Amino acid sequence: MIKTLSREAKSIILGGSLALDIVLLDQVTKWLMIGTPPIDIWPPYVSLHYAENTGIAFSMPLEGLLQQTITVGLIALLVVLVIRYATWKKPFMHYAMMLVIGGAIGNAIDRLFRGYVIDFLQVGSFPIFNVADSAVCLGVAGVLVYELFMKHPKEGAL
């Protein structure tokens, strides 16, 4: 007889699947963009344009590959530890943070194996970005929505 999974176990499995899906989608789209000429989707607002980002968030400069790897690695480790603690029994937060983890892993793979992150989505004058960046932003937005509007009063009451 197979024992059914607990709610927490299901949440962990689904969240892990979400993070993995983000990583796979991110890596496949980056791979497809390598060597692709710029594509105007909705000129001048939206285009696909291959770029190599050696900086950190939104192309902010970060000197040296070793410094990048150590800095981004330490930040990612800290984020994962905070995520695990903060989302243990809060499914909405768990999924939001899995978006952040999936995006962080997608960009970390690039940094580790290429020394730079492939960006390709250009929307207006906003800095060029990728699927992983989008997942991180959506995850952070989810956390903000939860903290501002969904949090039970007992959890946040002073």
Sequence-separated contacts (24+) of 85-90 with Cβ below 8 Å: 88/8, 89/8, 90/146
Q: 113 φ, ψ to 5°?
A: -95, -20
Pick the catalytic residue: 21, 26, 40, 119? Answer: 119
Q: 34 φ, ψ to 5°?
A: -60, 125
Annotation says 119 is catalytic:
yes
Tokens 């981004």 correspond to: 72
Pick the catalytic residue: 26, 40, 110, 133? Answer: 133
Annotation says 133 is catalytic:
yes
Which residue type sits at 75? I
- State the catalytic residues: 119, 133
